[in-house]
Amino acid sequence: MCVHAHPDDESSKGAATMARYVREGVDVLVVTCTGGEAGSVLNPAMDRPEVWENLPEMRRKEMDRAREILGVRQEWLGFVDSGLPEGDPLPPLPDGCFALQPVEVAAAPLVRMIREFRPQVITTYDENGGYPHPDHIMCHKISVAAFAAAGDPEAYPDQGEPWQPSKLYYNTTFHKDRVFALHQAVLNRGLESPYAQWVEKWVDKPEDADRVTTKVPCADYFELRDRALLAHATQVDPEGRWFAVPLELQQQVWPTEDFQLADSRVEVGNFPEADLFDGVPLDRS
């Protein structure tokens, strides 16, 4: 189970890993916390009045296309997009939005989905949300809470029979080693790096030093990942940063998607792991 804040997040974080596991026979469910209603149109080619007028419906259709490409199942958690506040001072979040829900309330439908789907592994975001969007941070909070509560028969007794997932992971897509490696590889090719400003302004944080515990080989599925991302046409510019590094260069320089093991109820082996299911007793034949 992969828990994400908005439609399109599933295609930019761990999508190749999901596509690989689906094709190996694993049942993968994406849970999308909000409908992305408060998002912007980030693709200049789609920046038209009729797109803005129908943005919530379009984002649902885009999610359907991405789901089909990846081969995953997908469910909506049903909360309202909080938007990304901008300005100084920041404006208040809208009443009733996802990020303003009490964690114990917002975690309840996720607990129900965990108990119904019965995943061995859950992926989500770290405590910073991957980046500090209120919905990403809230997604982290309810994922951690639901992982802990789903197996507790005394927690949420009205949300189904208890089920304890074995492992909880955080996506670590844009960590330093990967960004710097791709940046240097692009420069070595004589190309302009989309990461130049990131590298120039990068500030090391001690808490990030050992985040990557798990590196899943999935380069053969990068093309599917990119197709799924492009399906979110209102959100993704085909000429933008996501596609500035040639696909074959990505496959050569960094052929994995990377994760941080945040919690495990099973014994794990040596790090880095190469499989999210390391130590999980299940039949994947």
- Structural domains in the chain, CATH included, are 2-173+212-264 (3.40.50.10320)
Give me the pLDDT at residue 284, please.
47
CA 211, 217, 219: angle at the middle one, nearest 5?
120
Give me the pLDDT at residue 147, please.
98
- Could you report the per-residue pLDDT of 220-255, keeping only the tens digit for each? 999 999 999 999 999 999 998 889 999 999 999 999
Per-residue pLDDT averaged across 187-207, rounded?
A: 92
- Report yes or no: 149 and 111 within 8 Å, Cβ to Cβ: yes
Tokens representing residue 260 in the block? 């941080």
Give me the pLDDT at residue 283, please.
60
Angle, nearest 10°, between helix axes 222-231 and 15-23?
120
Give me the pLDDT at residue 285, please.
40
Burial class (CB in 10 A: 0-12, 13-18, 19+), 251: middle
% of residues, the chain, pLDDT over 70: 99
Residue with tokens 């955080």: 170
Say which residues have a Cβ less than 8 Å from residue 99's Cβ, sequence separation at least 6.
82, 93, 134, 135, 137, 138
Give me the pLDDT at residue 194, please.
94
Give me the pLDDT at residue 272, please.
94
CA 132, 138, 141: angle at the middle one, nearest 5?
115
Higher pLDDT among residues 230 and 39, named by residue? 230
Tokens representing residue 259 in the block? 């994760």
Tokens representing residue 159 in the block? 């949300």
Per-residue pLDDT averaged across 133-140, rounded?
A: 97
pTM of the model: 0.95
